[in-house]
Amino acid sequence: MSETQQQHRHFILNKPFGYLSQFVTDAKKKKLLGELYDFPTGTMAIGRLDQDSEGLLFLTTDGKMSEYVRGRKVEKEYYAQVDGVITEEALAQLRHGGIEITHEKQVYHTLSCKAIKLDPAPIFPERSRRVRDDRHGPTSWVSIILTEGKNRQVRKMTAAVGFPTLRLIRVRIGNVLLGAMATGEVREVSHFDL
């Protein structure tokens, strides 16, 4: 490993609900990643999780590493809590692909993916704002594994098949698992295990 590569630093984070996956914004009163940890100057998120999403996020000071991770067809696994009890028909639609979503003002058709209902439901700590309670009807959880990553893609996909996402948590990128990381926990790593 060259001296330049050794100077770069890499991190994994369990991003909490309500934080933007960035360090600077013009928006007022937004929670940013720099509030969670004293990251070195030049740290960037590899890919993003929207403000309402939680879970595993990679960060690095190495732009080449960022391009490498984003350029590979790395699996990303999400657990989505959806409105209603998801049907096998909806799961089949997700798996098949071809779901029409809008990405950057253009129509995009999703690739095939893996999608299964999680039963029993996974257990996660309560987030800072409750999803809702049982008075509003049942919910269910689904695992969705993608190799692509359009803006708010999982949310758009589940809504398109009739089961809007209420809570979204990324639990895996490549071989790296969220596991028992606490909400807001940051770990420095020597590399990303893809």
State which amino acid sits at residue 177. L
Give the whole-angstrom CA distance, residue 45 versus residue 18.
16
Q: Active-site residue 50, yes or no?
A: yes
Q: What is the residue whose two structure tokens read 């067809």?
A: 73
- As given in the structure block, the two tokens for residue 154 are 């999982």
Helix residue ranges per DSSP H, the chain: 3-7, 63-71, 88-96, 153-160
Residue 19 host element (H or E) = strand 19-20
Contacts of 82 (CB under 8 A, 6+ apart): 139, 140, 141, 142, 158, 163, 164, 165, 166
Give the whole-angstrom CA distance, residue 172 versus residue 157.
19
Given 26, 38, 50, 133, the catalytic residue: 50
CB atoms within 10 A of CB 140: 17
Give the whole-angstrom CA distance, residue 43 versus residue 163.
36
Active site residues: 50
